[in-house]
Chain A
Amino acid sequence: EAGVVQSPRYKIIEKKQPVAFWCNPISGHNTLYWYLQNLGQGPELLIRYENEEAVDDSQLPKDRFSAERLKGVDSTLKIQPAELGDSAVYLCASSPGLARSYNEQFFGPGTRLTVL
């Protein structure tokens, strides 16, 4: 069974440019998460989807960040415009769904963003 797929793996952009990250979750997983991980720290949740619905986006900086999960499968996270402080690793994870008794999260390899 394929795991969580993310692309690109690395991205280098100049500040004020837009950037987008793509995630394909494990087949059948209803819940999709986007996390931000700064160097030396644990991942922090940006947004959580249950199917197509963003049910927790309280940590998403909405002035420059946006996300979508069309058809409840793939998801895209966008930053426009990027700032120097956005340099980090962006992780996508999926889990079967909070309505299920078993809800283990699985992570993709992440996208390492460098903003110059």
Chain B
Amino acid sequence: GIQVEQSPPDLILQEGANSTLRCNFSDSVNNLQWFHQNPWGQLINLFYIPSGTKQNGRLSATTVATERYSLLYISSSQTTDSGVYFCAVLLTSGTYKYIFGTGTRLKVLA
């Protein structure tokens, strides 16, 4: 089956630092979403980005579907950015199923 791997698995930053999170997938996908799971467990939508580049404030994302990866950029990180970041891909082949990546656990220190 499809593999969705995220890197790095863990990341510790000082407040104000920038970071890049990566999502690699092993098969063709229709859609890709980035989520932030906050410390209370709520999955918050960040980007719906099957291809191209999008920006929302301090966050931006780029998906290169032909090369099977997506990147999430966080600039000027804040303590409220702490949590787990997941990418989820929608398969094109077989059943239309969203597969979540392994996650990146981010901790931003004050």
| Inter-chain contact B42/A107, CB cutoff 8 Å | yes
Size of the B side of the interface (Cβ < 8 Å), in residues, is 21
Using known A-B contacts A42-B102, A103-B31, A105-B33, determine if residue A91 contacts B43 with beta carbons closer than 8 Å.
yes
- Please tell me which stretch of A17-25, A43-51, A60-68, A71-79 contacts chain B, meaning at least 4 of its Cβ atoms lie within 8 angstroms of it: A43-51
| Inter-chain contact B98/A104, CB cutoff 8 Å | no
Q: Which residues of B contact A55 (CB under 8 A)?
A: 95
| Interface size, A (range) | 20 to 34
Interface positions of B from 83 to 98, Cβ below 8 Å from A: 86, 88, 90, 95-98
**C-beta contact mask, A84-113 vs B, less than 8 Å → 1, else 0?**
000001010100001000111111011010
Nearest-neighbor residue (CB-CB) of B101 within chain A: A42
| Inter-chain contact B97/A104, CB cutoff 8 Å | no
Interface status of B76 (Cβ within 8 A of chain A): no
| Inter-chain contact A89/B100, CB cutoff 8 Å | no
Interface status of A27 (Cβ within 8 A of chain B): no
Using known A-B contacts A33-B98, A42-B101, A48-B97, determine if residue A109 contacts B48 with beta carbons closer than 8 Å.
no
Nearest-neighbor residue (CB-CB) of B95 within chain A: A56
Using known A-B contacts A33-B98, A48-B97, determine if residue A109 contacts B42 with beta carbons closer than 8 Å.
yes
**Residues of B participating in the A interface, judged by any CB pair closer than 8 Å:** 31, 33, 35, 40-43, 45, 48, 86, 88, 90, 95-103
Sorted nearest first, the 4 A-B pairs with minimum C-beta distance are A42-B100, A107-B43, A104-B48, A56-B95
